[in-house]
Structure 1
Amino acid sequence: MGTSRWGRGFAVMAAGLVAGAMLPGAAHADDPATGSITGRFTQAGGGKVTVNLWTTAGGSAGQATSDADGDYTFAAIAPGQYKVQFVLPTFGSTLHSQWAHQKLTYSTASVVDVTGGAATEVDDSLISPTGVQLTVTDADTGAPVDDVCVSQYQGGFGGVCGGTGGVFSLPNVQDGAQTLYITSPDGLHASTTASVTVKFGVLAKVAVSVKATAAVTTKVVDKATGDPVPGVCVVALPTVFGSFESDMCQYGDPNYSAADGTVTIGQLAAGSYDLLALPEDGTHGIQWVGAKGGTGIQSKAKQLDVVAGQSAAAPVVDLDPAASITGTIRDADTGEVLWNECASVLPVRPGQGTTQLDPRCGGWSDQTYTISNLGPYAWPVRFGSYDSTDTYGAIWSGNAADRKAATPVQAGIAQPTVADASLHQLGTGLTIAPKTSDGMPYSGYLTVDVFNARTGDFVKEVSYQSTLDGVAAQPVRLRYYAGSAFVNGWYGGVDFATATNVRVNPADPPTVKIALQDN
């Protein structure tokens, strides 16, 4: 364990002076009327343990803490018979303990005789096998997977990384029913969990398979200086992504750039992606990552094609200074300022934005919106609310119906670029008529997400009502949720790509009949 027997003796003597001083009524260590106990507790990887000394009558006779090699001592012990207990930390709140020698209970522990003027040696080692042995394999090939981490805590704290032949050993897992979290630092396998019941002194074996995924690697730097920029969230988004969700940027997740600017975006399904970089330092601006710099238009980003089991290198993320767009949103008919209408550059769901991408709204005093965290590029801007009860029809810059058709607005660095908008109130553009599988009208819980059929962008949510109000004429596709009693799904298909187009038309609103299937 890294200490010679002679070196160990010196360490024991030094520790014994401290331990002996802790015992009530202890004499000097060299008192011939007393004895001592020294020993080493051995476990894989070493580490400190707490050592308790008990009399055969069940009384406490002292406590010591071993060094990192497991060496401990009790000095100046009254002659007699004792039992030695070793207490080990675990990943959980409870403690594991065993007794010399290789025993689980006080009653079965070895009796140690201490005589005056003599040192009694009590060595022990962790009961083996014990803990959890996890075997990880690839879900498709069955090959062992070593490049993952296993932890009893979500997020990987205190875990074990790197296996041998796909086998991971966790010796100090808390007793009882436990969940193990398997994560992939290189992003080439999907995270998963494994359930296991643990009992100290028994080796619990569990196997789990992980799905191969793809990853993208890049580096985030300041464009002017070339210095790395840490703490930047980088998200890989497909061409059609619906809306930006808050869990896409959770600080501390692997898709934040490290101190050296490097970042890995992993656990991606095979396919094509665009990178969106979202600095949070107030100095740099958001960008779609292009082949030679940032852009505000997704279609101009560098498209990355990724394959499961492989990592693809993306262009360096060259961050530019933050720029701004500001303006006023008014009622198109009255000219009244609509301070509760907002502006944004990407589709977001109510309550699902982030600090960087939340829609920016006016207020009672300053009735202008300001988007102040953009890269200095031309951006499509959406004007309007995502509130399902709002009756003002949202538009994109240039009075366009969707993001692809928008006229981009150049964000300004020295001065915010002004982009005003006027919105019309619109009535019902679509009526939803759900029915149960036996043809009865359904009036229970139903939420319908509405997506633009051309861009895939989230448009609005229909919740606790049967009409879609305040949406301009456009083709849409619908995804519905009707609670646990029914199957959730897409109207006319199994996903966005196969769903049926429905034309929103406030002048002549159609009725969509959704047939709910029993779960």
Structure 2
Amino acid sequence: MTRTRNRLRFSALVGVAAVTASLLAAPATAGPGRTGIVAAADPGVIKGQITDDKGAPIDATITVTKVDRSWSTTAYTWDSGTLGAYRVENVPPGDYKVSISDNTRGYQWVHQQETFDAGNVVTVVAGVEVVVDEQWLPLGTVEFTVLDDETGAPVPKPCVYIDVPTNASVNICGANGKVVVPDLIPGDWKYHLDGGGTHFAQEGEPYVHVDRGRTTKVTAALRRGAAVLVKVVDRATNTPLSSICLYTITVVTDGVQSRVGTYCSNPDGSIQIGPFDGSAKFQLYAWQSRNPYNPPVKLYGDQWVTPTGGTGDQRLATMVTIPAKTIVSLPNVLMDPPGSITGVVKNAAGSPVAGVCSYPWSFFAGILGLPAGRCTNGQGQYTINDLGPYKWPVKFSAYGSGTTWSGNVANRYAATLVQVSANGTATMNATIADEGKLTGTLRGPTGSWSGAWVFAYDAATGDVVYSVQAPDNYETGTYLVRLLNTQKVYLYFGAEGKGCWYGPAVGAGRKVTAAAVAVTAGAVTTLNLDTRVNCAASPFVQMPRR
């Protein structure tokens, strides 16, 4: 009798009593836009099939919510054993809204609606199965047109980041002023536009509205900077190289060490360097970035970049000059196989010295990350790997010793250059000097040493030999400059926010002129520094070509 009553109720509900038997034999289905119901065992059931926007079965989470929101339950297609199929049992009679969701598509309400309120009502009757199939609508697309704010020309390589609440936000780049971002879930999402190396990023945090199955178009203008376009290739084969990085070495004065920016090549070998606000001037140092979990098939050596290939001598490297708001293209960077320099470092007494670090360039210690193996072991042995097959200087530096260059000299310009061969090892031994020191009191405009600093530059090359950012003795306000050899140095010092180049004090009304200070290896030189009487302009009209 119960089954007969259900058949009658179902027939009355749909108004077609004559087809009850056939409905029981073959349950009706409902695709997007239609819902089928059939008689079934008590209680009510909602079941169906979920497909993607192309009609292929796909897994999803199904949520069944009573229209008055007083009851809700969740089911998962992967529990059914059939891809995309679901079945929700024990559904009390009533009116419901059904949604599907996953981590990349967000929520969609039956049938193909974006909100709970817009969703179709699904009526469940006791003892009746409701078949509700749902097909995902295509996700939304945003098409960005990115232009130069002055000329209206397309930005060469714009990129966009969109912050969406999925497993991973979107970060994608385009070309020639276009970035197309597909497969976005609907909503209002914050985005960030970047102009690559040629244009500055968009200011503010704008939002873009995304609808399923639609393309939203956004036009934006970015401010142009100065930039360099360059490509990295294998010298022998002209094959474009990825993961080759360039340091931009900006030569500066007034106590700031050489500024280093890093830019690495794309799979097509291209690099955009910039944008720079105003003009820019720098040299390029190339090196190969190596992933230990996916090492490169072929190794390449470091180099200073010139138009015709690499060099180990920074003086020969190209000085790249870019006027403001100008994009400059450079000749290809030509990479060669690597070689090594090795040797033993001893002191003046002939004993090996441990802990002496070796450098193939002039940067102050710590400004670039150094691979293991460049500092001497207990037997005084060192090795510098990954150098291009060129002539290189070698700097030796350690606390307790004077900075020494290959050939046992005090500055880079006087250094003996070491010829490296591809896949070979050259030898350069060294005798490191005893450490010279420079000390004295340091005073600012009011006589305080608060925030004191001192930089020591080699007078011949402009290389930073040593820097200290605080007094050596806070009670007396004395400073200490270390690592000095027998050489002359210019001092840039300051306290209380005021900086000066050192010059000997002169009479009232006379101009102080910067002067190099002579220091001696193994000796301590005393010199007091006072911004009130020793303040001179920079001794470098232009910093030496470093």
Query: Which residue does 2:343 correspond to in 1?
Result: 327
| CA shift digits 1:154-209 (9 cap, x unpaired) | xx962254599999989659999x7x554334x212356644699999x9x99885
Name the amino acid aligned to 2:72: G
| Counterpart among 507, 513, 517 of residue 530 in structure 2 | 513
Preserved contact between residue 451 and residue 460 of structure 1 (Cα < 8 Å) = yes
Query: Which residue does 1:418 correspond to in 2?
Result: 427
Q: CA deviation at 1:135?
A: 9.5
Name the amino acid aligned to 1:512: L
| Counterpart among 362, 378, 395 of residue 347 in structure 1 | 362
1:239/1:350 CA distance change after superposition, 3 Å: closer
Preserved contact between residue 53 and residue 63 of structure 1 (Cα < 8 Å) = no
2:463 corresponds to 1:457: yes
| Counterpart among 259, 270, 285 of residue 263 in structure 1 | 270
Unaligned regions of 5+ residues in structure 2, if any?
Answer: 1-24, 29-36, 41-45, 79-83, 291-295, 473-478, 503-511, 533-546
Question: Over alpha carbons, which structure has the higher Rg?
Answer: 2
Matched residues in 2 for 1:303 and 1:460: separation? 25
Matched residues in 2 for 1:337 and 1:476: separation? 31
Name the amino acid aligned to 1:457: D
SS of the equivalent of 1:328 reads strand
SS of the equivalent of 2:231 reads strand
Name the amino acid aligned to 1:52: T
1:120/1:417 CA distance change after superposition, 3 Å: closer
Query: Which residue does 1:84 correspond to in 2?
Result: 98
Query: Which residue does 2:63 correspond to in 1?
Result: 52
Query: Which residue does 2:121 correspond to in 1?
Result: 111
Give TM-score scaled by structure 2 length: 0.62
Give TM-score scaled by structure 1 length: 0.65
Query: Which residue does 2:329 correspond to in 1?
Result: 313
Name the amino acid aligned to 2:233: V
| Counterpart among 223, 232, 247 of residue 235 in structure 1 | 247
| Counterpart among 368, 385, 394 of residue 381 in structure 2 | 368
Q: CA deviation at 1:355?
A: 4.2
Q: CA deviation at 1:127?
A: 12
Matched residues in 1 for 2:415 and 2:139: separation? 68
| CA shift digits 1:142-163 (9 cap, x unpaired) | 988584222157xx96225459
SS of the equivalent of 2:315 reads helix
Name the amino acid aligned to 1:232: I
SS of the equivalent of 2:346 reads strand
Q: CA deviation at 1:418?
A: 2.6
Q: CA deviation at 1:309?
A: 5.1
Aligned-pair identity in percent equals 25
| CA shift digits 1:490-511 (9 cap, x unpaired) | 5359xxxxx9855233365433
Matched residues in 2 for 1:296 and 1:407: separation? 12
Name the amino acid aligned to 2:306: G
Preserved contact between residue 408 and residue 432 of structure 2 (Cα < 8 Å) = no
1:323/1:240 CA distance change after superposition, 3 Å: farther
Query: Which residue does 2:226 correspond to in 1?
Result: 213
SS of the equivalent of 2:519 reads coil
Q: CA deviation at 1:214?
A: 0.6
Name the amino acid aligned to 1:32: V
Query: Which residue does 2:161 correspond to in 1?
Result: 151
**Number of residue equivalences:** 440
Preserved contact between residue 132 and residue 173 of structure 1 (Cα < 8 Å) = no
Preserved contact between residue 232 and residue 244 of structure 2 (Cα < 8 Å) = no
1:236/1:490 CA distance change after superposition, 3 Å: same
Query: Which residue does 2:544 correspond to in 1?
Result: none
1:257/1:98 CA distance change after superposition, 3 Å: closer
| CA shift digits 1:214-240 (9 cap, x unpaired) | 12211221x445444433223343456
Query: Which residue does 1:10 correspond to in 2?
Result: none
RMSD across aligned C-alpha pairs, in angstroms? 5.1
Preserved contact between residue 342 and residue 428 of structure 2 (Cα < 8 Å) = yes
1:467/1:143 CA distance change after superposition, 3 Å: same
Q: CA deviation at 1:323?
A: 2.1
Preserved contact between residue 173 and residue 179 of structure 2 (Cα < 8 Å) = no
Query: Which residue does 2:396 correspond to in 1?
Result: 383
Name the amino acid aligned to 1:58: W
Matched residues in 2 for 1:313 and 1:244: separation? 23
Q: CA deviation at 1:83?
A: 1.0
2:492 corresponds to 1:478: yes
Q: CA deviation at 1:340?
A: 1.9
Query: Which residue does 2:11 correspond to in 1?
Result: none
Q: CA deviation at 1:433?
A: 0.8
| CA shift digits 1:390-414 (9 cap, x unpaired) | 2422132344443234332222557
1:405/1:38 CA distance change after superposition, 3 Å: same
Matched residues in 2 for 1:504 and 1:28: separation? 100
Matched residues in 1 for 2:402 and 2:432: separation? 6
